[in-house]
Amino acid sequence: MNEIINNWKDSVKIKRILIIAMVIIIIAISLCSYFYYSHHQEQEKIKIAKELKIKQEQAGKKAIENFYEKAFEGGSIDKLVVLLNEINRSRVNIERSGFTEYAYQCNQSACNFNYKLRQGALFSVQEKIFYKDRYKPSFSADELSYNEVLSKLDGNKIKNKFNNEEKITPPSCSNVLNFIYSYNSLQDDPNEKIIITSLPTSSVSSQEDTYPNYQYSYGFMVGNISLTHSDNAFKMKTFWERKPYKDYFLFDSFRKTSEINNIIQLNGKFICKK
């Protein structure tokens, strides 16, 4: 009998020991799982943070590059003069045939021209020859319109240097503004002045401060201008040839504002360093 009781007591002890052992094992497994999960979560957070930082850096650098790609678009003085010369040359035959050019507008890629038949002239459809290409007009009873005539205005030294990753050294913004204000102060006729339509600014200053060693973090700014001038190519060349910083003035578009005097409103920008 005593032996049975002793065996039962031993069995109870063993069960208790097994239960305690199981509890310890469960706790140990739980702790291991917790620490593993916590470590995994921490590593996942670090990974996500790194990926986010990389994406932010890529986005910041892309914004800088896109800003300068847009800033350096436009035509140089030389490109503008070539285009104006072609405009003047191409209008001669059409005007000789009895039409008057009353309007045109050009941007970096194309020009549109409008002609009206003069009183008493014989209507006849004319092709417009522009950079040796021939353009047929749309027409009505007394008008000719030439649309999407290639202007070939876009192109300049700054853009070439940017594309070739060469050094670009524009003047300071204060120097350019000083030149414009000084020039304007000497002009009595408002139409002779260079109008600043927006002061130099940059939309990527904060990104450039964040990534100062990035190859395109130039620290440049862009200001906008407009001026009224004759579309005579020689006069335009003469106007700009002795102006300082002329290589850092670029032109986006222009339109004819006077039918009689062939006057245009010219829109452009200047690149400078803050």
Q: Assign 144 a pLDDT band (cuts: 50, 70, 90).
A: very high
Better-scored residue on pLDDT, 134 or 44: 134
Q: Is the pLDDT of residue 21 over 80?
A: no
Residue appearing with tokens 């035959």: 93
Residue 235 lies in a domain: no
DSSP string, 27-41: HHHHHHHHHHHHHHH
Q: What per-residue confidence (pLDDT) applies to 34?
A: 65
Residue 98 lies in a domain: yes
Q: Which domain holds residue 110?
A: 83-150
Can you give the three-state secondary structure of the chain, one letter per residue?
A: CHHHHHHHHHHHHHHHHHHHHHHHHHHHHHHHHHHHHHHHHHHHHHHHHHHHHHHHHHHHHHHHHHHHHHHCCCECHHHHHHHHHHHHHHHHHHHHCCEEEEEEEECCCEEEEEEEECCCCCCCCCCEEECCEEECCEECCCEEEEEEEECCCCECHHHHHHHCCCCCCCCEHHHHHHHHHHHHHCCCCHHHCCEEEEEEECCCHHHHHHCCCCCCCCCEEEEEEEEEEECCHHHHHHHHHCCCCHHHEEEEEEEEEECCCCEEEEEEEEEEEC
Q: Is the pLDDT of residue 4 over 70?
A: no
d(CA 143, CA 55): 55
Q: What per-residue confidence (pLDDT) applies to 26?
A: 72
Q: Is 58 exposed, middle or buried (0-12, 13-18, 19+ CB in 10 A)?
A: exposed
Residue 198 lies in a domain: no
Better-scored residue on pLDDT, 180 or 188: 180
Q: Is the pLDDT of residue 7 over 70?
A: no
- Over residues 147-151, the mean pLDDT reads 98
Residue 184 lies in a domain: no
Residue 99 lies in a domain: yes
Residue 136 lies in a domain: yes
**In the chain, % of residues over pLDDT 90:** 74
User: What's the number of domains the chain is made of?
Assistant: 1
Q: Is the pLDDT of residue 10 over 70?
A: no
Q: In this predicted structure, which of 55-59, 185-189, 227-231 has the lowest mean pLDDT?
A: 55-59
Residue 91 lies in a domain: yes
pTM tops 0.75, yes or no: yes
Q: What per-residue confidence (pLDDT) applies to 189?
A: 87
For the chain, give the mean pLDDT: 90
- Over residues 246-262, the mean pLDDT reads 92
Q: What per-residue confidence (pLDDT) applies to 69?
A: 96
Q: What per-residue confidence (pLDDT) applies to 85?
A: 98
Residue 250 lies in a domain: no
- Over residues 6-32, the mean pLDDT reads 65
